[in-house]
Chains A and B, each alone.
Chain A
Amino acid sequence: DQQVKQNSPSLSVQEGRISILNCDYTNSMFDYFLWYKKYPAEGPTFLISISSIKDKNEDGRFTVFLNKSAKHLSLHIVPSQPGDSAVYFCAASSQGNLIFGKGTKLSVKP
């Protein structure tokens, strides 16, 4: 059973608009959440994270929102740029054990 789910395998957005990537989890013991971006033929790179004691973390164009009661987190990218086109992985951590979602492929069209 998947503990971390990214239900949208793909998302297409126009350049300049907002991209919203969603992630749901089932384990209430998760205390740290991360987003990674992955380009083809490269390893994932860390994007942004949030601790379970917060509900929002912002870094430039990237904002992560955490709704603990709904066990849901989302990544907002504003404004979206063509270079943001990649696969985005949500990950959740409990005592150092990192569980990844299957990823969402974001395509930002010029």
Chain B
Amino acid sequence: KAGVTQTPRYLIKTRGQQVTLSCSPISGHRSVSWYQQTPGQGLQFLFEYFSETQRNKGNFPGRFSGRQFSNSRSEMNVSTLELGDSALYLCASSLAPTSSIYFGEGSWLTVV
């Protein structure tokens, strides 16, 4: 069974640009959540989607947004990139919102 797949794995963007990251959950999983990992802050919750609806949202500015499609695939978008947005962005999927979550390998974003 394929795991959680995230694309792209690595990318470099310039300040002010926007970026879209993609996540394909494990087959059959309908819940997708996104996390940001930085050395100083550890793993921080961004948002969670279930059945195309955002269920929970972390404490991030409105520049961070996401969506989920009918096939459970999810995208997250960061607009007007700042240097501090450089981080590993992790996607996780689960059967349902309260089930154990399984992470992808993440997308490394560097903002220069």
Size of the A side of the interface (Cβ < 8 Å), in residues, is 22
CA A100 – CA B38 in complex, angstroms? Answer: 12
Q: Does A96 contact B (CB under 8 A)?
A: yes
CA A38 – CA B92 in complex, angstroms? Answer: 14
B: contact size bracket? 20 to 34
Q: Does B33 contact A (CB under 8 A)?
A: yes
Contact (Cβ within 8 A) B104 A100: no
CA A1 – CA B4 in complex, angstroms? Answer: 31
Contact (Cβ within 8 A) A43 B103: yes
Query: Which residues of B have CB within 8 Å of A34?
Result: 100
Q: Does B43 contact A (CB under 8 A)?
A: yes
Query: Which residues of B have CB within 8 Å of A49?
Result: 100
**Nearest chain B CB to A102's CB is how many angstroms away?**
3
CA A98 – CA B47 in complex, angstroms? Answer: 10
Find the B residue at minimum CB distance from A101.
B42
Contact (Cβ within 8 A) B103 A96: no
Across the interface, B90 reaches (CB within 8 A) one of A41, A43, A95, A96, namely: A43
Contact (Cβ within 8 A) B43 A44: yes
Contact (Cβ within 8 A) A100 B35: yes
Query: Which residues of B have CB within 8 Å of A46?
Result: 100-102
CA A16 – CA B45 in complex, angstroms? Answer: 35
CA A55 – CA B98 in complex, angstroms? Answer: 20
